[in-house]
Amino acid sequence: MGNPKRQMLIGGAMVILGWLAIWAMVLELIPRPIEAYMAAYIISLIGFGLGMFGVGTVVRDNLRRSRNDDDDEYRE
């Protein structure tokens, strides 16, 4: 799971899944015990964290690549 784009995709899917589950419970389409709300919230929170980790990885890689390109220009 080292691919940041995959992390962002899985994280986004988990967030959407958590939100849909919460909305389904609010609309009484599925049973609403407190454990289900907690599970949906945890799934959403973990998905958000995973997605943000993937975004951070992409940003860090782009910054590192940009800095290396700048260093190469000054050496020439």
Q: pLDDT tens across 27-76, in order?
A: 989 888 999 999 999 999 999 999 999 999 999 999 998 888 766 666 65
Dihedral over alpha carbons 53, 58, 60, 65 (to 10 degrees): 160
Q: Would residue 24 be called left, alpha or beta, if left means φ above 0 and alpha means ψ between -120 and 50 degrees?
A: alpha
pLDDT at 68: 83
Which pTM was predicted?
A: 0.79
Distance CA 28, CA 14 (A): 21
**Full residue range of the structural domain in which residue 62 is found:** 4-75
Total domains in the chain come to 1
